[in-house]
Structure formats: structure tokens, C-alpha cells
A and B are shown apart, each in its own frame.
Chain A
Amino acid sequence: MNAGWKVPDNQAIGANGGERLRMIRVVLLTIVIAIAASIAAIGWVLGYDPLVHVNGKAPAMVPTTAFCLLALTGAHLALHLRRSDASRAAMLCVAIGAGTIASVNLVAVVSGWWPHGIDGLLWPALFAGTRDAMAPATATCILLAVVASVELRRTGGPRKRLFQFAATSGLAVSAFALVAYLLARESLSNAMPFAAMSVQTAVASAMLFAAIVLAQPGGGWLSVLFGSLGGSRISRRLLPVVVLCPLGLAVLGNFATRIGWIDPGMRLVLLTVLLMAVGAAAVLLIAIGENRYEAAHLRNMLTLEKSSEEKERLLGEIYHRVRNNLQRIDAMLAFESAQVPGAEGRDAFVAMSHRVRALAVVHEALMRSVSLSRIEIADYLDRLSQEISRSRALPERGIHISCQVERMFVDFETANTMGLLVNELVSDAAVHAFPVGQQGIIRVSFGRLDADTCVLAVSDDGVNPAADLDRGGVGSRIIRSLARQLRGELRVEVHDGTHVTITFPDMTTRWDGSGANGSR
């Protein structure tokens, strides 16, 4: 009950704990084999009676019981050491044999047809005049062991409920006999199903069932005991106390009565009071543990909440500074532009100012987005178009922007690049395609062409070509760079207006969405 048992959860036993459990099983099974084998060989075959009847008149472990325990335990050891077709077949044979013997003995002894069961039939001389037979409780234990063993050899693992029921019931019946031997031997001989069950059988049977239960530490009640969480830690600490305390108190009480300190009535009172105290202490200890874990849980929740709030606050701060800096850049551009003579020079500053604002729009979209790394592209391009339209006073000129964008999420870097491209292309159309007084429509569209290709297009119905990408100006250089950034192919067609399309690989899979590998 220490670090060795710490496992990730209730369902799994760590490598360390698993190794220790395997060792314990081997030891338990070996002891059972030793008990059954020595009683059969030395006790019955060689006739050494103290091994058979402990004090001359105690019930004996009859040969069929010894045989069943020996065979079942041997098959378990074989299956445990090497799980193969052979060991599984051996287990099945042993289970059928032991099951048959136990069933016949059970019926024979309970009905009274053969008071000594199969043993009496095979060796009448040995059993004449004795009360020895396979006790109904022993037969029941063997049948339960048979059921658990057959389940354990199933290829897909045992059916949990049936296995747990058989193994745990067997353990309980054996434990009942053991405790009875310890506290009230005389009363046991009056309880018919247990009357003929020997102390050796009770010990061997309890050990066999312990080994069987330990074969499935990840299932049933054992998983609670072996878990790594707080409740399991409390149960590991309390279970030995709660199990052993009543036993120890009862033994002490028996002793005290025998030497005359208290009479049986007072023993009952004392035992009851002490058991109440043990039970109450256990309940309170569980409550203390539970309270401690809940308090720790609440503290962690509070810390998490605080750190999440702090993160949100920092993000907001960074976001605010980005916007402030973009505003400063825009302000400085405006100051410079005021000093530039000539309309052409000022146009360059106006174009720069629009680029800065296109960058601001993507930040705004990012802050609105749920994921903080992916952006809903339809909403973003729509807002960007409105921003361009408003700041270039397009409605006043009778020019409208129509957006037809597929709704999908795009990572920040791709969205940013697409936004700058749309800004350049729409600005080109607004400036070049429509002479003064000319009205028209600029169409922005984006969507999937097929599973791995996307198309971004900006077209207008203006009378002049929107942009001459071969001219080598700043705008065309930016457009070409941005298209290359998207690993895209740029195509310009001029007929009834200008139609620019950029076909590029699907960006929803190209980047992992963290934005960490985006480059400028």
C-alpha cells in the first residue's frame, strides 16, 4: 500500500504494481498446491494423520477436495505463467473434472444417499465410522472456482459480472469458514454446510480465491482499491483496519471470556460498542479525506479560473497595443502625406493607409473568433469589403462590392494574406476600372474548387483594366508576393471588366492552425 500501487486510474494497474501482483499470485497458488499436495500425499497416501485431522478429531480435507484444489490451482498457475492454447485447454479439462466431482459430492452429501460422497465409494474402509466428506460449503467453493476459472480462460477476457460474482462469493464463503474456525469452532461443527469443512480447506480455498480475484485487478471492487485517485488512497488505508479490527476485537473478547474477565453478555456489549467506534471512525476518516480532496479541487479550480482571466486580460492588452500601433502608423502616414506635393504621391500614402486598416480588420476578426487562431473567412472578407467600400467612399460613386464567400474557418496567417490580397485587388478596381461617373460592381468570391484547392477571385465590370500586373508597380508586386505566399497560381483575364483569380492549395489542412509556422 505505497507508491507501488499508484496507477493512472481505476482501470489500469501500473507496470510496477502489476509485477508485484503477479508475484503475489504465484506465491498464493504455490502455497495452495503445497497444502493440497502434502495432505493428499503425506496425509492420505502415507497415512500421516495430523495432516488430515489436525488434532485427531477435526474435519479432514478429503482426497477429492485435495484433488480438485490441486488440479484447479495447477491449471491457474499454468495459465498464469504462460497463456497458451494448451494451458487454456488444460484449464477447461480441470474445470469440467472438478465441477463434476463437486456436483456429485454436493448432491450425494446433501441428499444423504452417500454420506461420504465419492470418497466413501472409492475408499469405504477409510471413511467408515467418520464424519469426513466434502462439505457442501467446500463443494460450493469448488463450483464457484470452476465458474471463475472458466471465465478467466475465455479468449476475450472474462465476463466481468459473472467472474466478479463467482470469485468474490468464493472468497466470502472461505472467509466465513476461516473466521468461524478462529472464533467459534464448536458452532461451526453444528452448521451443516460447513460442518465437514476442514481448516486446511478453508485456508487453501481462501488463498485460491484471493489469487483468482487478483487475476483481474483492473475490474470490479479491486480496481477501486488499486486506483491512484484520492478515494482509492483512503480505501487502501482504511480497508485493513475495518477488516482486521473486528476480527482482532472478537478474538480478544473470546480470550477475555475464556479466562473469566467478562461474561458472554458483556462481551457482546463490548464488541458492539467497539465495532460502532471502528465504523464511526472509518466514516469520519473518509469524510476528512473527501473534504481534503474537495478543498484541493476547489483551490485548483480557483487558480485555473484566475490564470484564465489573467490570460484573457493579457490578450486584450496585446490586442489593444496592436491596434494603437496600427493607428499610430496610420497617423504618421497621414502626417507624411500632408507634406507630399502632387496627387500621385498622396495616392501612395492613401494606399498604404488602406493596407494598414486591412491588417487591423483581420485582428478585429481574430478577437471576435472563438478559437483565437482560426477565422471565419466569410464574415472577415465581408467586413473588409465594407471597410474598403466606406473608406474609399464607393457607395457615393455608385460602385458596389458584392461578396460571395463560402463559410469556413481559415487559419490566421492565410486569412491575413487573403485580406491583403482582397484589399489590393479591390482598391485597384476602385481606382483604375471605373473612371469618374462610371458605376458598377466589384465581386469578391472565395470557395473550394475541389477537395484540396481553393479559389479566391476579384472581378469588376469596369470599362478600364483594373490593374496591369506586368507593369511592375508596387501594387502588382504586392499582389504577386501575396499570391506566392498562398502557394497559389495567379490568373488575370480582361473581358467585360477585369477578372483576377488565385487558385491555391486548401489552407485548412496545409497549416496546423497554430499559426506558428506562418512566414512573411
Chain B
Amino acid sequence: MAVAQTAVDSRTKRVVIVDDDVLICEYLSDLCQFYGAEVVGMAHEAQEAEDIILENRPEFVLMDLRLGGPRDGVDVAEAVQNRMSGVKFVYVSGSNEPKSMDRIASNAPHHVLIKPISPADLRKALA
């Protein structure tokens, strides 16, 4: 994806990526950068994610639902939203079964993407 940036906004979007799978984090990071966003942090577990988001105050968070611990992506989002507002949560979930979708919907997400995601969809979500 080392192609010239095609979708550079006048104002660079700051993004934090949260996924317990490091490889997928890296991939999402490449995609974000390709679409002209700035990745200001990456986290692979709930507490780390909460800290990084609160510290960096990004415009977007790409949030995995399951984070391999007792707290999931929605828990982190709620914890963040209690402390600050204006962060847009884009959920990137590995499952679209009703239980997961209901859980995500309870947080009024900015956008929901189902893995494996289509780059075009990510671009739309960050628009």
C-alpha cells in the first residue's frame, strides 16, 4: 500500500487502533495511513486501550469487540466516554451474530465493520 495518499483531508484525522490481534492492528494501521489518517496509538488489551485513547484524544477509534480479557471493546468505549466526549468509535468485529451486534449497538457506534473488512468500507467509516 505504499502508494501516494489518495484521500488526504484538509485536516489529518487522528486514529487509535484497538485489536487483540497485532497483525490485524498493523494491517489496519497501514490502511489508515493509506487513506491519509494519522495513527496516534495502537493497543491490544482493554486497560492499555483506555489509557492510550484518554492520553491521545483521537478523533476515531477502530475498536475490536473482543479483546481477550474480561472487558470488551464496548466496556472500554463506555469508560472513555465517561471521561471525554467526541471520540467516534468504529467497531471492527470478527462476528456478526446477533449477540455481538446487539452488544455493539448498545454503544451507538459511529460505524460497524465486519472482518475481513473491505478497505473501501474503512475509508467510508473514516470519512
B83 in the interface, Cβ–Cβ < 8 Å? no
State whether the Cβ of B4 lies closer than 8 Å to any Cβ in chain A.
no
Mark each residue of chain B from 9 to 50: 1 if its CB lies under 8 Å from any CB of chain A, else 0.
000000000000101101100110000000000000000000
Contacts of B117 in A (CB 8 A): 327
Measured in the bound complex, the distance between the Cα atoms of B31 and A337 in whole Å is 13
Contact B116 A327 (CB under 8 A): yes
Contacts A320-B66, A323-B95, A331-B26 given; indicate if A387 touches B2 (C-beta within 8 A).
Answer: no
Distance in angstroms between the alpha carbons of A330 and B31 in the assembled complex: 12
> Quick one: which of B1, B94, B120 contacts A320, CB cutoff 8 A?
B94
Residue-wise interface mask of B (98-110) relative to A, using a CB-CB cutoff of 8 A (1 in contact, 0 not) = 0110000000000
**Do residues B30 and A335 form an inter-chain contact, with CB atoms below 8 A?**
yes
The contact of B116 among A320, A338, A356, A368, by CB within 8 Å, is: A356
Q: A329–B117 Cα gap in the complex (Å)?
A: 12
- Is there an interface contact between B120 and A316, defined as CB atoms closer than 8 Å? no
Is A262 in contact with chain B by the CB < 8 A criterion?
no
Tell whether B118 is near chain A: CB-to-CB under 8 Å: yes
Q: Cβ of A367 < 8 Å from any Cβ of B?
A: yes
In the assembled complex, B71 has its CB within 8 A of some CB on chain A: no
The reply to whether the CB of A393 lies closer than 8 angstroms to some CB of chain B is yes
Residues of A contacting B30 in the complex (Cβ-Cβ under 8 angstroms): 334-335, 338
Inter-chain contact A319/B97, CB cutoff 8 Å: yes
Determine the chain B residues whose CB is within 8 A of the CB of A367 once the complex forms: 95-97
Partner of A393, one of B1, B24, B115, B120: B120
A324 lies within 8 A of B24 (CB)? yes
Contact A327-B94, Cβ < 8 Å, known A320-B66, A364-B114, A393-B120: yes
A338–B2 touching, CB < 8 Å: yes
Q: Which of A289-330 contact B (CB under 8 A)?
A: 316, 319-321, 323-324, 326-330
B51 located at the interface, meaning its Cβ lies under 8 Å from any Cβ of chain A in the complex? no
Q: Which of B21, B23, B31, B120 contacts A391 (CB 8 A)?
A: B120
Cα–Cα, bound, A323→B93 (Å)? 9
Are A337's CB and B1's CB within 8 A? yes
- Chain B residues within 8 Å of A356, by CB: 116
Q: Which residue of chain B lies nearest to A389 when distances are taken between CB atoms in the complex?
A: B120
Q: Which residues of B contact A364 (CB under 8 A)?
A: 96, 114
Roughly how many angstroms separate A221 CA and B100 CA in the complex, as a whole number? 54
Given contacts A324-B94, A335-B27, contact A330 B121 (CB under 8 A): no
0 or 1 for each of A375-404: is its CB under 8 Å from B? (1 = yes): 000000000000100110100000000000
Determine the distance from Cα of A330 to Cα of B116 in the docked complex, in whole angstroms.
7
A285 within 8 A of B: no
Q: Pick the residue among A321, A328, A368 that contacts B24 (CB under 8 A).
A: A328
> Is A147 interfacial (CB 8 A cutoff)?
no
Complexed CA–CA distance, A297 and B117 (Å)? 46
A357 interfacial by beta-carbon distance below 8 Å:
yes
Given known contacts A331-B23, A332-B23, A391-B119, is B1 in contact with A323 (CB within 8 Å)? Answer: no
Query: Within the assembled complex, what's the spacing in Å between the Cα atoms of A112 and B75?
Result: 99
Extra 16 A-B pairs, beta carbons < 8 Å, given A320-B66, A324-B94, A327-B94: A320-B95, A323-B94, A324-B24, A327-B21, A327-B116, A330-B27, A331-B23, A331-B27, A334-B27, A334-B31, A335-B26, A338-B30, A360-B116, A364-B96, A367-B97, A391-B121
- Closest 6 interchain pairs by CB? A331-B27, A327-B115, A327-B116, A391-B118, A320-B94, A330-B116
Contact surface of A with B, Cβ cutoff 8 Å: 316, 319-321, 323-324, 326-332, 334-335, 337-338, 356-357, 360, 364, 367-368, 387, 390-391, 393
Residues of B within 8 A of A (CB): 1-2, 21, 23-24, 26-27, 30-31, 66, 94-97, 99-100, 114-121
Q: Pick 24 A–B contacts, CB within 8 A, sort by A.
A: A316-B95, A316-B100, A319-B95, A320-B66, A323-B95, A323-B114, A323-B116, A324-B94, A326-B115, A327-B24, A327-B27, A328-B21, A328-B24, A330-B27, A330-B116, A334-B1, A334-B31, A337-B1, A387-B118, A390-B118, A391-B118, A391-B119, A391-B120, A391-B121
